[in-house]
């Protein structure tokens, strides 16, 4: 398999799911990016697999090739549109500035991964890919979820924000009058897509929300 992006898809975007609550945000993001025609490069941490098993009825294998097949089936991706990389696949393109896509999203982002990214730990491929994004001054969006945040979490977020990393907490608003959990998920996914400059109609933008009395 080549490390190059497939020209038949829009630019690749790296999506990493780590072990914070809210796996549905990341899974929905993958589906939406696939539907938008992007190539999606996916990494799912061991803890994220536990969260997915706890929070959803979705069964995902850990082995990268089988994971890619399972995610492709879920999202209706074309062959080759989703690629997955393992925890220590240091030869994956995301491990190097010369091969990594220009955009990476960690969604959801555990406070553990947040800490590792803030300190440049690079102990697994997700952390390394985020480190590459920072050193190459590329777009990196982290979607942390914890409550409450400790001073440690807040300091890491401030450090990263000052480096240009987008800290986009999984904190959906309610002003679009969500009726379902899917509406809440789409609120966050829409915010991520806004950061990536990807057009969508998941939720109305501010100013487009109709008057409820109309």
Cβ contacts of residue 6 below 8 Å, gap of 6+? Answer: 39, 80, 81
Interface positions, 10-29, toward ligand FMN (CB under 6 A): 18-21
Would you say 111 is a known binding-site residue?
yes
Kindly state whether residue 198 participates in binding ligand FMN, applying the rule CB under 6 A.
no
Kindly state whether residue 45 participates in binding ligand FMN, applying the rule CB under 6 A.
yes
CA of 208: how far to CAs of 177, 191, 211, in Å? Answer: 13, 15, 9
Interface positions, 109-128, toward ligand FMN (CB under 6 A): 110-113
Kindly state whether residue 48 participates in binding ligand FMN, applying the rule CB under 6 A.
yes
Dihedral, 137, 28, 108, 93 alpha carbons, nearest 10: -40
Sign of the CA dihedral running 183, 189, 192, 193: negative
Kindly state whether residue 54 participates in binding ligand FMN, applying the rule CB under 6 A.
yes
> Which CB sits closer to ligand FMN, 21 or 159?
21
| Helix, strand, coil distribution of the chain in percent, nearest 5 | 40, 15, 45
Interface positions, 57-86, toward ligand FMN (CB under 6 A): none
Q: How far is the CB of 110 from ligand FMN (least distance, A)?
A: 4
Kindly state whether residue 89 participates in binding ligand FMN, applying the rule CB under 6 A.
no
- Beta-strand ranges (E) seen in the chain are 10-17, 38-44, 82-84, 103-109, 139-144, 166-167
DSSP summary character for residue 94: G
- Annotated binding residues for FMN, as ranges? 19-21, 45, 110-113, 145
Q: Which residues bind ligand FMN (CB under 6 A)?
A: 18-21, 45, 47-48, 50-51, 54, 110-113, 145-146
- Annotated binding residues, as ranges? 19-21, 45, 110-113, 145, 175, 191
């Amino acid at each position: 398999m080549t490390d190059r992006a497939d020209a038949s898809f829009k630019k690749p975007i790296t999506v990493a799911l780590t072990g914070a609550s809210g796996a549905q945000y990341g899974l929905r993001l993958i589906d939406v990016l696939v539907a938008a025609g992007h190539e999606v490069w996916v990494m799912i941490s061991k803890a994220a697999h536990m969260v997915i098993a706890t929070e959803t009825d979705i069964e995902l294998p850990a082995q990268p090739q089988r994971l890619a097949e399972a995610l492709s089936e879920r999202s209706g991706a074309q062959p080759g549109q989703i690629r997955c990389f393992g925890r220590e696949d240091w030869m994956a393109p995301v491990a190097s500035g010369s091969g990594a896509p220009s955009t990476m999203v960690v969604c959801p982002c555990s406070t553990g991964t947040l800490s590792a990214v803030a300190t440049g730990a690079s102990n697994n491929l997700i952390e390394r890919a985020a480190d590459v994004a920072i050193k190459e001054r590329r777009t990196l969006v982290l979607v942390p979820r914890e409550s409450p945040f400790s001073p440690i979490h807040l300091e890491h977020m401030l450090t990263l924000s000052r480096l240009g990393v987008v800290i986009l907490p999984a904190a959906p608003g309610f002003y679009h009058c969500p009726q379902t959990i899917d509406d809440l998920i789409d609120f966050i996914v829409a915010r991520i897509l806004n950061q990536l400059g990807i057009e969508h109609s998941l939720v109305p933008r501010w100013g487009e929300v109709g008057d409820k009395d109309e």
